[in-house]
Structures are given as structure tokens and as C-alpha cells.
Amino acid sequence: MISQAEFYEKLTSKRKIASVKEAKNLEKALQADVSAAVLSIGNIGMIQRYVDLFKHHRLPVFLHIERIGGLAQDREGIAFLAQIVKPDGIVTTRNSLIKLAKREGLLTIQRVFLVDSDAIRSGMNSVQETQPDAIELMPALLTDSIERCRQEVKVPIIAGGLLKNREQMLAALAAGASAVSMGSRELWKENVEHEQL
């Protein structure tokens, strides 16, 4: 598994994460020049094969565990992931799963939805409590909120959701995100790592 330091280095060098939501995009994500891939597809019977594919290509792979069919979202489910499937980490909104995954040695990305000021405050409190390796703020278009959260957390921020073009990617990065996460294969091709922000 990739170390936290290696993950951070990849985040800042490539600045893009491929969010894979359909099996037909697995190969495209492998060909993209990205920091990591987040898989929001599959089930308990197929996920091992998907993770092995990304590991074979030396691309860090995270599982959005709420989207993996048949996987128990409890201590045993997380232990199964860590000991058998062996992704580099998980993505989740749930504090309890972040804590369990950290105990099992997995990297963690905590997803926070920027719905309103109460949600932001609650999300930042959760992040302070769980101390994930990174947070994903959604939607990425709320650049003012990204700037505000950047001042409150010490871990890398990933901006994800609703990104439709290069300008939106650059705006999220300029607001303080270390990387952007997109489901669009076209946006995976965008070269943003050397842009002056």
C-alpha cells in the first residue's frame, strides 16, 4: 500500500483524481495521468479484481465504500478490505468508517458536502475528530467554501463534484484544493499540474 507521504506527493504532482463510476471507464482511468483513482463501482465479488488491476499499474486506488455492493460497513467489512482486497484507502462520509479504516492501516479521505453553513461547520468538526489523510469537499464549484475550509484544516483538500471544464478545475485549485476529482474522462486528460494559480 502507498504511504501517506507518497500519496501527498502524487496529489501535488498530478493534481487530478479519476472518479470511476462505470466499469467501462476502468481502462481509461489507468491511461489517464492522474494522482489516484476512486472506485464507486463493483461489488464484493468483483472489487478484488478491480483493485488488483490498479495496483498492477501502480496507480493508487481508493474505494468509495458506500458504493460497493455487498460490503458490510462495519469493523469486519473494513478488516476484509484491508487484509484481503488491499486498496490503498477508502472514501466515506462516515466518521466511524474513517476511524476503523485508520486502525487497519488504510489511507482515508473523508467526504464533506457543502450544503449550507451548518453542514460546513459539522463537516469541519468531523474532520477535526477523525483526522483523515485528506478531505473531499463537494461540490467543487463552491470556491469560497474551499478557501474557508483550507484555513481550518491541515490535510490536503480534494475538490470534487459538478466540475464540467478546465476553468472550474483551475478555480478549485486556486482556491486551495490540492487536487480535483472528476468523473469525466475528458477532464482526466486536462493538464493542470503546471498551471500558475
3-state secondary structure 104-162: CCCEEEEEEECCCHHHHHHHHHHHHHHCCCEEEEECCCCHHHHHHHHHHCCCCEEEECC
Measure the CA dihedral 129/132/138/140, to 10°. Answer: 120
- DSSP assignment of 63-101, as one string? EEGGGSBT--SSHHHHHHIIIII--SEEEES-HHHHHHH
Residue 159: CB atoms within 10 Å: 33
The β-bridge partners of 92 are: 110
Residue 193 confidence (pLDDT): 80
Residue 197 has pLDDT above 60, yes or no: no
For residue 3 the three cell numbers come to 504511504
**Residue pair 177/11 in contact by the 8 Å Cβ criterion:** no
The β-bridge partners of 157 are: 135
**Percentage of the residues of the chain whose pLDDT score is greater than 70:** 98
Residue 20 has pLDDT above 80, yes or no: yes
Residue 1 confidence (pLDDT): 86
Residue 173 has pLDDT above 60, yes or no: yes
Q: What is the pLDDT of residues 135-165, one digit of tens each?
A: 999 999 999 999 999 999 999 999 999 999 9
- Over residues 111-134, mean pLDDT: 94
For residue 108 the three cell numbers come to 482515508
* Average pLDDT value over all residues in the chain: 95
